[in-house]
């Protein structure tokens, strides 16, 4: 019996009416659950020892109002415009399978009448508070039960769904916008909200009225008042604003710190300064055109981002990738992991006290060699777009293997050098040991992944638990620790770089010959010689270039193990060349939730260490 079948059996045994429908697509099992049964079903999946779906992987939502044939495709939720999507992951590898189980819960959002609400901005009616129209007209609002009583890490994902999709989560402790300004007039991911933009006039002269006030201040420069979170007690404690222009926040991150002297009472990250609407943009362009956006989220591990998105599109299309491309993908992803960890190491040591400029220089010296290889194969050092749906952009040049073998030969000694420099360094140990501690249960409750979770003893590494791109053919170990502090996270990342070298070495030793692009005509252009003899080939060539690849209707979730953790893509296809729904699940967003837990009761100086050892990239947080 499969893990999904066992879960369905147990749910039906304890909650007979809970499951409205069961759908299986490309190996993913989706259960449509009655809204009133969401919490008991989720609790069963989490707490039953035979199931152990303890990792909350992803929460998102879909607006089905423009999906063709939705009522026929999903009779169980045809009356609901919105459904929330919950992906749960089990750390067990039982039931005769070598991979851990994942299950998706789809919950139709009920509607409730909420008096006095409107999508109009507050400025429409003077004197009203943000988000209200000044009237008492009731409006229908989609509502779903909050999962925060089971997983505290549902906090931010549910706030994001509320912010961008307008679904209210009943029982959420602090439901407010998280990406958009608090007075934003709508919920951008709804299908009736266009992609925005202003009309650009193309035929203007200096006599036009638009230029009457040219060079003058015509809008009052008035700052929006910053309201502390409702949990903060400004009467007893000092409220300190840190960022968004602070070098130790590693980007445009603002943290509202509640302090008792120098001790942190609470830390409230304020997000959205870099929000660029990646998901909305992805739902208006072709599948292949979204790839460059993945480079620009976590811009220090673009190869891994490319890989995750490519795997998701390929699963949606049902396409197989040639063995040579698979191995090269793994090699490039592991080189990217090393480059990312080197960047983390150099900057984190500087965060600790500015105590070692040399460590920063050493780490960047080795990272430059890796970026040289990325430039060799793709022409770019950061935003590579090298791994693409269908394979890789082109085969590696002849000098590639020699350059990589040089790294395999020299980097182990460099890693030894780093450890001699840092592992027993008294200042480094004083700043990191016991700082930012997280238990395994806290990590699972917060939905954390990557080195942040593995340093607390959570055996969560998708390369091992759900192998992709042939990782099951490589001999390497999942690196874990048990102390759960910033020092343990340092040790995990150092050892992960060594394991990545092992994987790269095996990849070069077993690199097969052959093509690097799929032969499946759903994604592959016809060979050049066919264009001279086949009109069908010419038509296919034209349509694939102009319209793009067209997957069948369906939905999938695919994720990879990026340097920061679980990088996931949830795609819904309506049978066209443009994704109907594109959800971009990033580890930095989920992992940053841990900052408050890590920092409470510690000095504010330790919060700098915590931000560093979480290893965030703000493009990855805000998207």
Residue 522 lies in a domain: no
Q: Which residue has the higher pLDDT, 215 or 108?
A: 108
CA angle (424, 426, 428) in 5-degree steps: 85
Q: Could you tell me which residues come within 8 angstroms of residue 401 by beta carbon, excluding any fewer than 6 positions away?
A: 508, 511
Residue 380 lies in a domain: yes
Percent of the chain with pLDDT over 90: 54
Q: Considering the chain, what is the average pLDDT of its residues? A: 85
Distance between CA atoms of residues 433 and 426, nearest Å: 10
Q: Where are the alpha helices (DSSP H) in 510-568?
A: 535-546
Residue 440: which domain range? 278-318+321-517+551-622
Distance between CA atoms of residues 449 and 465, nearest Å: 13
Q: Which of 125, 147, 170 marks a domain boundary?
A: 170
Q: Which of 125, 150, 170 marks a domain boundary?
A: 170
Q: Give the model confidence (pLDDT) of 258-313 as tens digits.
A: 899 999 999 999 898 888 888 999 999 999 999 999 998 888 999 999 999 999 99
Q: Cis omega (within 30 of 0) on the bond before 244?
A: yes
pLDDT at 350 (0 to 100): 85
CATH number at residue 596: 1.10.645.10
The tally of domains found in the chain comes to: 2
Residue 236 lies in a domain: no
pLDDT at 247 (0 to 100): 74
φ/ψ of residue 503, rounded to 5:
-65, -45
Residue 216 lies in a domain: no
φ/ψ of residue 230, rounded to 5:
-65, -20
pLDDT band at 482 (very low <50, low <70, confident <90, very high): very high
Residue 404 lies in a domain: yes
pLDDT at 461 (0 to 100): 92
User: Per-residue pLDDT for 129 more than 90?
Assistant: no
Q: Where does residue 88 rank: exposed (0-12), middle (13-18), buried (19+ CB within 10 A)?
A: buried
Q: Could you tell me which residues come within 8 angstroms of residue 514 by beta carbon, excluding any fewer than 6 positions away?
A: 322, 323, 324
User: Per-residue pLDDT for 212 more than 80?
Assistant: no
- Which two three-digit tokens encode residue 76? 């169980």
Whose CA is closest to 574, among 68, 104, 80, 78?
68
Residues 440 and 585 in one domain: yes
Q: Which of 170, 205, 229 marks a domain boundary?
A: 170
CATH number at residue 67: 3.30.460.80
Residue 605 lies in a domain: yes
Q: What is the reported pTM?
A: 0.87
Residues 19 and 150 in one domain: yes
Map tokens 């070692």 to a residue: 356
Residues 288 and 139 in one domain: no
Distance between CA atoms of residues 431 and 429, nearest Å: 5
Handedness of CA 31, 37, 38, 41 (dihedral sign): negative
Residue 126: how many other CB atoms lie within 10 Å: 7
Residue 394 lies in a domain: yes
Residue 217 lies in a domain: no
pLDDT at 369 (0 to 100): 94
Q: Give the model confidence (pLDDT) of 535-578 as tens digits.
A: 888 887 888 888 888 899 999 999 999 999 999 999 999 999 99
Percent of the chain with pLDDT over 70: 87
Average pLDDT rounded to a whole number, residues 182-206: 71
Residues 334 and 455 in one domain: yes
Average pLDDT rounded to a whole number, residues 512-536: 85
pLDDT band at 27 (very low <50, low <70, confident <90, very high): confident
Whose CA is closest to 339, among 307, 298, 379?
298
């Amino acid at each position: 019996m499969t893990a999904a079948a066992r879960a369905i059996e147990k749910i039906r045994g304890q909650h007979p009416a809970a499951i409205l429908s069961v759908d299986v697509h490309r190996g993913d099992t989706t259960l449509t659950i009655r809204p009133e049964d969401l919490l008991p079903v989720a609790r069963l999946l989490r707490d039953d020892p035979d199931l152990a779906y303890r990792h909350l992987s992803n929460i998102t939502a879909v607006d089905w109002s423009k999906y063709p044939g939705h009522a026929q495709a999903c009779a169980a939720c045809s009356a609901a415009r919105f459904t929330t999507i919950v992906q749960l992951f089990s750390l067990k590898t039982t039931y005769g399978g070598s991979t851990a189980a994942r299950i998706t819960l789809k919950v139709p959002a009920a509607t409730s009448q909420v008096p006095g609400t409107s999508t109009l901005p507050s400025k429409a009616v003077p004197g009203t508070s943000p988000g209200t129209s000044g009237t008492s007209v009731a409006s229908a609002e989609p509502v779903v039960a909050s999962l925060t009583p089971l997983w505290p890490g549902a906090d931010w994902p549910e706030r994001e769904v509320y912010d961008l999709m307008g679904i209210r989560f009943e029982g959420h402790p602090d439901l407010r916008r998280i990406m958009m300004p608090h007075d934003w007039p709508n919920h951008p991911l709804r299908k009736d909200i266009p992609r925005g933009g202003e009309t650009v006039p193309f035929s203007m002269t200096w006599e036009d009225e638009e230029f009457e006030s040219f060079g003058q201040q015509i809008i009052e420069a008035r700052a929006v008042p910053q309201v502390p979170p409702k949990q903060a007690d400004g009467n007893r404690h000092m409220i300190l604003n840190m960022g968004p222009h602070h070098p130790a926040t590693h980007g445009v991150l603002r943290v509202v710190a509640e302090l008792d002297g120098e001790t942190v009472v609470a830390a409230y990250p304020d997000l959205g300064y870099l929000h660029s609407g990646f998901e909305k943009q992805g739902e208006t362009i072709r599948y292949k055109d979204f790839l460059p956006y993945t480079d620009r989220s976590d811009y220090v591990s673009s190869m891994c981002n490319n890989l995750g998105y490519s795997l998701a599109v390929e699963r949606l299309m049902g396409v197989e990738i040639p063995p040579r491309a698979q191995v090269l993908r793994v090699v490039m992803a592991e080189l990217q992991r090393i480059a990312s960890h080197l960047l983390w190491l150099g900057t984190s040591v500087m965060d600790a006290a500015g105590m070692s400029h040399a460590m920063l220089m050493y780490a960047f010296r080795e990272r430059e060699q890796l970026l040289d290889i990325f430039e060799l194969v793709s022409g770019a050092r950061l935003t590579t777009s090298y791994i693409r749906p269908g394979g890789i952009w082109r085969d590696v040049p002849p000098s590639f293997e020699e350059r990589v073998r040089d790294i395999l030969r020299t980097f182990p000694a460099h890693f030894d050098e780093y450890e001699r420099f840092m592992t027993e360094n008294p200042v480094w140990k004083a700043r990191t040991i016991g700082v930012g501690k997280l238990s395994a249960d806290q990590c699972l409750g917060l939905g954390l992944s990557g080195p942040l979770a593995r340093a607390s003893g959570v055996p969560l590494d998708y390369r091992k638990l759900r192998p992709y791109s042939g990782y099951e053919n490589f001999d390497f170990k999942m690196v874990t620790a048990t102390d759960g502090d910033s020092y343990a996270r340092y040790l995990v990342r150092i050892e992960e770089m060594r394991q990545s070298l092992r994987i790269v070495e095996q990849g070069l030793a077993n690199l097969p010959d052959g093509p690097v692009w799929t032969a499946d005509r759903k994604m592959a252009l016809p060979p050049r010689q066919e264009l001279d003899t086949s009109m069908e080939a010419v038509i296919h060539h034209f349509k694939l270039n102009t319209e793009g690849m067209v997957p069948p209707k369906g939905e999938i979730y695919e994720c990879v193990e990026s340097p920061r953790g679980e990088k996931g893509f949830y795609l819904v296809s309506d049978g066209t060349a443009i994704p109907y729904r594109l959800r971009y699940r990033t580890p930095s967003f989920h992992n940053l939730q841990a900052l408050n837990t890590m920092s409470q009761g510690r000095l504010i100086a330790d919060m700098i260490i915590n931000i560093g050892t979480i290893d965030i990239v703000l493009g990855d947080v805000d998207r």
